[in-house]
């Protein structure tokens, strides 16, 4: 039996061996064939699937969305609407997070600018700001 060992698969895709096994357990990767000695052997299809999963994870798709996208690969010509919906939902999550991070950046910038980091006989303004959430200008 030919194919790639789990270590080779890991090296080629950048996905840890334990994560590959986890994906198998979740059903995202099919259980590979094994040699007479019980070693897992992966073909190019499994390599492609793992690369797909890894890329989707890098883009922030959760495992449930990844599973849906994998299922949609079975009928790629009919998958447009559903795949678009999944990707659109992920984009909305990213945009929401960016907005929250911008608010957080503004609040932290305000806190940092209130203090030059040198003792001036006053209590530390950074610590005061952290102790009093009500002193924040915006929700973050």
DSSP 28: S
Count how many Cα atoms sit within 13 Å of the Cα of residue 139 in the half-sphere of its side chain.
Answer: 1
Among 6-15, 91-100, 111-120, where is mean pLDDT lowest? Answer: 111-120
Banded pLDDT at 1 (limits 50, 70, 90): low
For the segment 28-46, what is each residue's pLDDT rounded down to a tens digit? 998 887 888 888 899 999 9
CA torsion 128-134-139-140 (nearest 10°) is: 30
Domain range for 70 is 6-74
Q: What's the domain count of the chain?
A: 1
Is residue 126 one of the residues assigned to a domain?
Answer: no
Domain with residue 27: its CATH number is: 1.10.1660.10
Tell me: the pLDDT tens digits for 14-23?
A: 999 999 999 9
User: For residue range 46-71, what is the model confidence (pLDDT) as tens digits?
Assistant: 999 999 999 999 999 999 999 999 99
């Amino acid at each position: 039996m030919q194919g790639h060992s789990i270590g080779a698969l890991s090296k080629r895709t950048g996905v840890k061996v334990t994560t590959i096994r986890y994906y198998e357990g979740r059903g995202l990767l099919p259980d590979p064939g094994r040699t007479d000695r019980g070693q897992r052997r992966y073909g190019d299809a499994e390599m492609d699937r793992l690369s797909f999963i890894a890329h989707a994870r890098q883009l922030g798709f959760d495992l449930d969305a990844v599973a849906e996208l994998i299922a949609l690969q079975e009928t790629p010509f009919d998958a447009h609407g559903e795949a678009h919906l999944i990707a659109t939902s992920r984009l909305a999550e990213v945009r929401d997070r960016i907005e929250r991070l911008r608010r957080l950046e503004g609040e932290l910038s305000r806190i940092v600018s209130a203090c030059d980091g040198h003792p001036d006989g006053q209590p530390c303004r950074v610590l005061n700001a952290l102790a009093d959430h009500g002193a924040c200008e915006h929700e973050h």
